[in-house]
Amino acid sequence: MSNYGFVPHGSEDLSEMLKTVGVGSVDDLYAAIPEKLRISKLDLPEGISEYEVLKRLSALSKRNDSGLVCFMGGGFYDHFIPAAADAIASRGEFTTCYTPYQPEVAQGTLQTMFEFQSGMCRLTGLEVSNASVYDGGSAVFEAAAMSYRVTGRKRFLVDSAINPIYRNMLESYAANMNFEFCEVPAKDGKADKEAIKAQLDNTVAAVILQNPSFFGCVDDYTDTAKAAHEAGALTVMICYPLSLAYLKTPGEMGIDIAVGDAQSLGLPLGFGGPYLGFMVTTTKLARKMPGRICGETHDKNGNRGFVLTLQAREQHIRREKATSNICSNQNLCAITATIYLALMGKEGLYEAAESSAKNAAYALQKLTSIPGVERTFQSPCFNEFAVTLPVCAGKVCEKLLAKGYAGGIPLGKSFEGMGNVLLVACTEKRTKEEIDGLAAALKEAIEEVRK
Amino acid sequence: MKLIYEESIPKRRGVIPPKSGIECETLVPSSCRRAEKAPLPEVSELDVVRHYTNLSRLNYSVDTNFYPLGSCTMKYNPKVNEQVARLEGFTTLHPYLSLVPGGPEKVQGALETIYETEKKLCEITGMKAVTLQPFAGANGEFTGVMLIAAYHKDRGDSKRRRMLIPDSAHGTNPASAMMAGFEITSIPSDGKGWVDLEALKAALSDDVAGLMLTAPNTVGLFDSNVGEISRLVHEAGGLMYYDGANLNAIMGHARPGDLGFDVVHLNMHKTFSTPHGGGGPGAGAVGVKEQLVPFLPTPRVTKKADGTFEVGVADSTKSMGHIAPFFGNFCVMLKAYAYMLQLGAEGIREAAGLAVLNANYLKAKLQDTYKFPFADQICMHECVCTSEWQLEKSHVNTLDIAKMLLDRGYHAPTVYFPLIVHEAIMIEPTETESKETLDAFVDAMKEIASITETDPEACHRAPERTPIGRMDEVAAAKNMILKA
């Protein structure tokens, strides 16, 4: 038996199998690789036991501060996650299977995908969801590429109040596609509807905006979507799924493609992932959408069942003519989100969204009562808001961390002239004591920085 | 089974979210609120647990069945990996902590894990640097070919618009290269399943950016000409891209860097035992040789002289920018790191060797029953046969055989891929399967072969013992019922 774990071969098995194959040793199986290109040993440490692995990783995990009270958002939020979400999604039957290419033995995955698509449609008010893409940023790129396929145009009007990392990803991904991204400066923390309207013409593929904006501000973009349609363009909206239990939906506004990250639906912050990119669109545009889609059908006996469908869009069939290169997606995260949506339900998700917004309203009131701290934008917000401090927000952020608060995201690095601005988010998990504590810590931190 | 929406009873509640007791009005004006509450399920917690537990039981999985799906490396996914990825010290970390002043001090353990994972992957692949940002294999491919594009562009070599891709490649290769702005030139395979050297030579010119090669290739063979291929491509000014889908065959025995490759992507969910999750999340590390390091995505984790770790943000004018917002599927990487720690140098090498032995054992046992187009070559971690003998004799095809396997408790091998083998059946057992499991699978394959002769109709009817029968996929595409 091997010393290294996970391989069951005993020495008798080994010799019998080698004999069957007709070679003298395992190394003989590598004869096709020229001898001089082979190595005899990797320069890595010897293996360790399962117990030692856990001990080492536990020690590493403790060198992180998991006790910070989290007021950071920026698209990724510290929402409550019910125990049953991960408990069920982590079952081996969900985790250790492959993409459901054999539907007869994958109805568990497939029906859950179908329920995920249903949930995303109900949240966004749109008609067709795929079964996930990687993350919010790659979803924005996919939406841009999809808009190009639909309109044949390569110019995009991009609101400057979208997540700046997504903006960077959009440009990184599209670097060799000859797309033109025209930034439309935001107005009072959110997309400037008048400026967008003025710039729309028959060369624009899509308007790309975010609601709530990166700064947390909300608006109704019905008119923008209408104006885009009149110019033959699409509207892509980056959404925050949990907020859609409360906010006007992309569907109600006439948006063509809703995208974003569904981390807020039951996934831990996990230092950046795995998260859950999503895309939802209209029936009309469904065939232009990338990624796997699950559809309802029946078996030969007439029983309802589910299969991957519209696969003629995908790389394993279409190769270089596919709508995208995506193959692996974030399926297990979509399963977690589906279970989360069912656990929270109609009332629960609404309550979580409403509480998050109420807590933010209280936090805004508390923080702006500190002398010198002002609300940066007057636009209405949901659960996140920007405040302008009398001193450098980066320095304050550092002081807050030392006091046990991940107090927000300083915006100076990403936005010119916003060196004193701190972006603060609340979820339903934040308590009055925590918010009061942040306010007190912020007051102290500002004084410390001033010294 | 019913849909969760069909189990819904008005006013029934599941989990009650926490309440702060704060009764401030929200700041959202009514014009920005949705007209009606989202029609989500109204079910109890037990309803939910039972519904999804029962759904999960309709799946075949590695934990429940032998799953010899070629090209997918369905090895056992150690449970300690899952435990590691759920440690509170990792799951609670907000990713923006890596980017704000004072933040990196709060996440030193996570940064060290990233740094150490990259280092191990550098050694395994023979590369100079690795990024963990790509979310999956195809995303890694895209990152890799974008790096090649950036490299040529930086040298002012703007002519290189073509990417060479063998016809045996996964569909993601041409799709990724296309997204990176390349034109695709397909290189045929020769009679041995290798790259046709003459065709390669004819395709090489000063407009070639590189060659994307899977090694071993998708018919499970190691192309012994790899050294010569690499020499030819480099001589023409192109770079060599290694598709790591099949690294499980050779890890610890050979390194892509030593074979002449300049950029490599790895599928952590194949080779490094992180679970496939029914289609994801994966993770697709990308490794590069020295000349491509400046173009790597931002942010990068670096080690300071005092042994602490910091995060470098895009200051380089050459970086390709963000592929992921932060560090990719970080918690997936934790699982891969745990796996590499546990196996160590010897274990990694041994896993590859036994994966190859298992595939050759299956091939040796089955080659009298099924036609193996490359029977004379030792295969690597997977073997490809076809149903041509059965098709000729009794009109039973690969799909029928796949469905017959489902009835016998086996997940089907990959079917109808690679495209260069007619009626392909691609079997990848992986190293974690025992001789008894392989023997039982061989028996099942032989039994099926004999039924194809005695009762071909039964083969067309299969599967009959699965939760549901053969599905009408045409109706699905036609009716487009995509939500409830």
- DSSP 8-state class, residue B98: G
**Helical spans, DSSP H, in A162-282:** 164-173, 193-199, 222-230, 250-253
For residue A17, give the nearest of B149, B323, B361 by CB distance. B361
Average pLDDT over residues A269-279: 98
CA-closest candidate to residue B274, choices B73, B21, B116, B478 = B73
- DSSP 8-state class, residue B15: P
Burial (Cβ within 10 Å: 0-12, 13-18, ≥19) of residue B318: middle
Q: Characterise B199 by phi-psi region: left (phi > 0), alpha (psi -120 to 50), beta (else).
A: alpha
Q: Is the peptide bond before B463 cis (omega within 30 degrees of 0)?
A: yes
Dist CA B242 CA B237 (whole Å): 17
For residue A168, give the nearest of B107, B277, B322 by CB distance. B322
Give the model confidence (pLDDT) of B173-210 as tens digits: 999 999 999 999 999 999 889 999 999 999 999 999 99
CA-closest candidate to residue B388, choices B403, B372, B375, B404 = B372
**Helical spans, DSSP H, in A22-106:** 50-61, 83-89, 92-95
Residue B482 lies in a domain: no
* Beta strand ranges found along A15-78 (DSSP E): 69-70
Please count the other Cβ atoms lying within 10 Å of the Cβ belonging to residue B160: 23
Contact status, residue A213 vs residue A162, Cβ threshold 8 Å = yes
Dist CA B22 CA B40 (whole Å): 25
Residues of B in contact with A68 (CB under 8 A): 94, 97, 106
pLDDT of residue A313: 85
Give the H/E segment covering residue B185.
strand B183-187
For residue A299, give the nearest of B323, B354, B471 by CB distance. B471
End-to-end CA distance of chain A: 66
**CATH number for B165:** 3.40.640.10
CA distance B190 to chain A (A): 16
Give the model confidence (pLDDT) of B121-135 as tens digits: 999 999 999 999 999
Would you state the structure tokens that stand for residue B146, as one six-digit string? 């974008």
Same domain for B16 and B137: no
How long a stretch of residues is chain A?
Answer: 451
CA distance B394 to chain A (A): 22
Same domain for B51 and B11: yes
Q: How confident is the model at residue A322 (pLDDT cuts 50, 70, 90)?
A: confident
pLDDT score of A2 more than 60: no
Q: With an 8 Å Cβ cutoff, are B95 and A272 in contact?
A: yes
Contact status, residue B87 vs residue B446, Cβ threshold 8 Å = no
Give the model confidence (pLDDT) of A157-192 as tens digits: 999 999 999 999 999 999 999 999 999 999 999 999
Cα torsion through A268, A269, A275, A279, rounded to 10: 100
**CATH number for B443:** 3.90.1150.10
Contact status, residue A33 vs residue B333, Cβ threshold 8 Å = no
In the sheet that holds B286-288, the strands lie side by side as B129-131, B286-288, B263-266, B239-244, B208-214, B162-166, B183-187
Mutate to test the interface with B, among A6, A123, A140, A324 (most CBs of B within 10 A): A6
Task: Compute φ and ψ for A301, nearest 5 degrees.
Answer: -95, 5
Same domain for B109 and B48: no
- DSSP 8-state class, residue A365: H
Dist CA B251 CA B271 (whole Å): 9
Same domain for B387 and B325: no
pLDDT of residue A1: 42
Same domain for B224 and B96: yes
Residues of B in contact with A177 (CB under 8 A): 179, 181
Q: Is the peptide bond before A212 cis (omega within 30 degrees of 0)?
A: yes
Angle, helix A107-124 to helix B45-56, in steps of 10 degrees: 140
Same domain for B333 and B392: no
Dist CA B341 CA A53 (whole Å): 7
Give the H/E segment covering residue A145.
helix A136-151
Mutate to test the interface with B, among A37, A40, A81, A97 (most CBs of B within 10 A): A97
Q: With an 8 Å Cβ cutoff, are B347 and A132 in contact?
A: no
CA quadruple A307, A308, A312, A316: dihedral sign: negative
- Per-residue H/E/C for A157-176: EEECCCCHHHHHHHHHHCCC
Q: With an 8 Å Cβ cutoff, are A350 and B280 in contact?
A: no
Give me chain A's average pLDDT, please: 97
The residue ranges of chain B whose pLDDT is under 50 are none
**CA distances from residue A381 to A208, A376, B35, B445 in whole angstroms, order as listed:** 19, 11, 18, 62
Same domain for B134 and B13: no
Residue B72 lies in a domain: no
Residue B136 lies in a domain: yes
pLDDT of residue A319: 87
Residue B74 lies in a domain: no
Cα torsion through B152, B155, B157, B162, rounded to 10: -10
Q: With an 8 Å Cβ cutoff, are A325 and B178 in contact?
A: yes
Contact status, residue B92 vs residue B101, Cβ threshold 8 Å = no
Give the model confidence (pLDDT) of B347-391 as tens digits: 999 999 999 999 999 999 999 999 999 999 999 999 999 999 999
Q: With an 8 Å Cβ cutoff, are B325 and A34 in contact?
A: no
Q: With an 8 Å Cβ cutoff, are A105 and B411 in contact?
A: yes
Q: Which CATH superfamily is domain A69-78+347-450 in?
A: Aspartate Aminotransferase, domain 1 (3.90.1150.10)
Angle, helix A107-124 to helix A331-367, in steps of 10 degrees: 30
Dist CA A398 CA B230 (whole Å): 50
Query: At A282, is the secondary structure helix, strand, or coil?
Result: coil
Average pLDDT over residues A15-43: 97
Dist CA A183 CA A168 (whole Å): 12
- DSSP 8-state class, residue B31: G
pLDDT of residue A320: 86
CA-closest candidate to residue B49, choices B38, B41, B61 = B41
Average pLDDT over residues A393-398: 98
Residues of A in contact with B473 (CB under 8 A): 297, 307, 309
Same domain for B411 and B369: yes
Same domain for B240 and B183: yes
Give the model confidence (pLDDT) of B70-96 as tens digits: 999 999 999 999 999 999 999 999 999
* Domain spans in chain A, listed from the N-terminal domain onward: 69-78+347-450, 83-340
Q: With an 8 Å Cβ cutoff, are B326 and A138 in contact?
A: no
Number of domains in chain B: 3
Q: Which residue's structure tokens are 């618009």?
A: B161
Same domain for B236 and B133: yes
Among residues of chain A, what percentage have pLDDT more than 90?
A: 95
Q: Which residue's structure tokens are 């067709």?
A: A128
Which residue type occupies A398?
A: E
Residue B173 lies in a domain: yes
CA-closest candidate to residue A181, choices A168, A197, A198, A195 = A168
A83-340 CATH pick, 3.40.50.1000, 3.30.960.10, 3.40.640.10, 3.40.50.1980? 3.40.640.10
Interface A-B: count of C-beta contacts within 8 A? 749
Dist CA B14 CA A346 (whole Å): 9
Dist CA A36 CA B260 (whole Å): 12
Number of helical (H) and strand (E) elements in chain A, helices listed first: 14, 15
CA B104 to chain centre: 31
Residue that finishes a domain, picked among B341, B364, B386: B341
**CA distances from residue A157 to A188, A196, A201, A257, A261 in whole angstroms, order as listed:** 18, 7, 10, 15, 21
Dist CA B398 CA B138 (whole Å): 27
How long a stretch of residues is chain B?
Answer: 484
Provide the residue range defining the domain that includes B9: 4-56
Task: Compute φ and ψ for A327, nearest 5 degrees.
Answer: -125, -85
Residues of A in contact with B146 (CB under 8 A): 172, 175-176
For residue B33, give the nearest of A87, A246, A399 by CB distance. A246
End-to-end CA distance of chain B: 14
Dist CA A228 CA B7 (whole Å): 40
The yes/no answer to whether this complex scores an ipTM above 0.90 is: yes
For residue B338, give the nearest of A57, A76, A176 by CB distance. A57
CA quadruple B414, B416, B421, B422: dihedral sign: positive
For residue B123, give the nearest of A44, A46, A102 by CB distance. A44
Please count the other Cβ atoms lying within 10 Å of the Cβ belonging to residue B165: 26
Give the model confidence (pLDDT) of A42-74 as tens digits: 999 999 999 999 999 999 999 999 999 999 999
For residue A57, give the nearest of B58, B84, B227 by CB distance. B84
Contact status, residue B259 vs residue B215, Cβ threshold 8 Å = yes
Dist CA A136 CA A262 (whole Å): 8
Contacts of A145 (CB under 8 A, 6+ apart): A174, A177, A290, A323, A324, B179
Residues of A in contact with B282 (CB under 8 A): 328
Same domain for B372 and B328: no
Same domain for B407 and B333: no
Q: With an 8 Å Cβ cutoff, are A354 and B26 in contact?
A: yes
